[in-house]
Amino acid sequence: MPLNPLNIIAALRSRAPTDALPSVAEVLALLRAQDAQRDALYAASDKARHDQVGDDVHLRGIIEFSNYCDNDCAYCGIRRHNQELTRYRMPIEEIVEQAARARTWGCPTVVLQSGEDAWFTVERLADLIRRVRATGIEAVTLSVGVRSLDALRQLKAAGCDRYLLRFETSNRTLFARIHPDESFAQRIQFLKDVRSVGIQVGSGFMIGLPGPLTTLARDILFATSLDLDMIGCGPFLAVPKTPLAGAEPLQDREIYLKAIAILRLLNPQANIPATTAFDALMPDGRDRVLQVGANVFMPNVTPAKYRRMYQLYPNKPCVDEEGAACAICVRGRLARLGRPAGRGPGHSLRHIQGA
Ligand code: SAM
Ligand code: FES
């Protein structure tokens, strides 16, 4: 007998964190839900978000401070192999100034992201974090790839609150094919190291990588098994002139949103961002994600002169905007959705409760 999505949704709504995870078949049934059943999924995930983490949307200004990358991921627009790309590295002073501006534009916290850029040694990153925190920024998320355990300790001491490193896909064979410079095990060990030094852990995957839908169902379950503070997932968008060029997006575009809705039901207390790539996939993409379970928005506050050089994928939004524009635009988006901007650092409930 086919699984009924409405029964699965009802079971997930009353699921305790210690209960067994749903089966792959059950997650697949939710990913395939249509019409009224899909609407029921969205209503349940939006309610779970409202009940557990409230209506606030935490604004984290993202500064993409370097597009140098030692890695050659098959999916990525700033991969080492892309020799047509002009590389840039923001001076530390400029990053700090931009973080200070982001605060005046209404972002209490920032995300500092780059390719795997060895110029940014742990000492330089620690100095950067200290100076950013000294501007009054209330929390710093770092997203700069895998570093050593000792480096993590130094970054924590400097004031790093959160670290974002996606596992990209839980399918080990696919991972090895698309992320050749690091092993899957290394990435997962790194996430454990992040937790062990007391930094909040963010991870996630790309939705719609080439392969069967079963992989997506397994990715959702794997992300849940990591018990994350933050789950950052976004659509995979094929980049011309990369090994994955020409890969088609999922035909049912709603699957991208259903994935977020299922993640919210399974992880009611996590911070879940409406990631930028959703706007590249569909009109009002990020607004829709905020309506199916997300509670974080990351306005791009990278100075305009660098943005075109940090195109991880085609159609990346706001590449011609100045820093303030995205921070202002998000206010209008939130007002239309009837959602307030969060105040303070917006730590995960898991972190606040000392789990
Ligand atoms: N270097 C750091 C790392 O790998 O964790 C941070 C920067 S990396 C460019 C940030 C994220 O961009 C990756 O984790 C990946 O999921 C996402 N990304 C890269 N190429 C993408 C694409 N073509 N479509 C969607 N997301 C992409
Ligand atoms: Fe830079 Fe993958 S291409 S981390």
- Report d(CA 81, CA 27) in Å as an integer: 36
Q: How confident is the model at residue 324 (pLDDT cuts 50, 70, 90)?
A: confident
Confidence band (pLDDT; 50, 70, 90) for 269? very high
Mean pLDDT of 268-272: 98
Q: In whole numbers, what is the pLDDT of the chain averaged over residues?
A: 96
Is the per-residue pLDDT at 323 higher than 80? no
pLDDT digit string (tens) for 193-220? 999 999 999 999 999 999 999 999 999 9
Which of 94, 72, 92 has its CA nearest to residue 83?
Answer: 72
Cβ 73 under 6 angstroms from ligand 2: yes
pLDDT band at 321 (very low <50, low <70, confident <90, very high): confident
pLDDT of residue 1: 67
Identify which of 68, 78, 143 to mutate to test ligand 2's pocket (most ligand atoms within 8 A of the CB).
78
pLDDT for position 194: 98
Residue with tokens 């094919």: 177
Q: How confident is the model at residue 351 (pLDDT cuts 50, 70, 90)?
A: confident
DSSP label at 308?
T
pLDDT band (50, 70, 90) for residue 322: confident
Query: What are the pLDDT digits (tens) for 247-257?
Result: 999 999 999 99
Ligand 1 atom 25 nearest Cα? 236
Tell me the mean pLDDT in the region 53-75. Answer: 98
Choose which residue among 116, 143, 310 to substitute to test ligand 2 binding: the one with the highest number of ligand atoms within 8 A of its C-beta: 116
Instruction: State yes or no: pLDDT of 174 exceeds 70.
Output: yes
- pTM of the predicted structure, to 2 decimals: 0.97
Nearest ligand (C-alpha, residue 187): 1
* Bridge partners for 206 per DSSP: 234
> Is residue 168 in contact with ligand 2, taking CB distance under 6 Å?
no
- pLDDT of 354 over the 90 cut: no
CA 74–ligand 2 middle distance (angstroms): 8
In this predicted model, what pLDDT tens digit does every residue of 274-317 receive, in sequence order?
999 999 999 899 999 999 999 999 999 999 999 999 999 999 99
Q: Is the CB of 279 under 6 A from ligand 1?
A: no
What per-residue confidence (pLDDT) applies to 98?
A: 97
Assign 3-state DSSP to the chain and report helix, strand, coil percentages, each to 5.
Answer: 45, 15, 45
* Secondary structure string (H, E, C) spanning 24-83: HHHHHHHHCCCHHHHHHHHHHHHHHHHHHHCCCEEEEEEEEEECCCCCCCCCCCCCCCCC
The number of angstroms, rounded, from the C-alpha of 230 to the middle of its chain's C-alpha atoms is 8
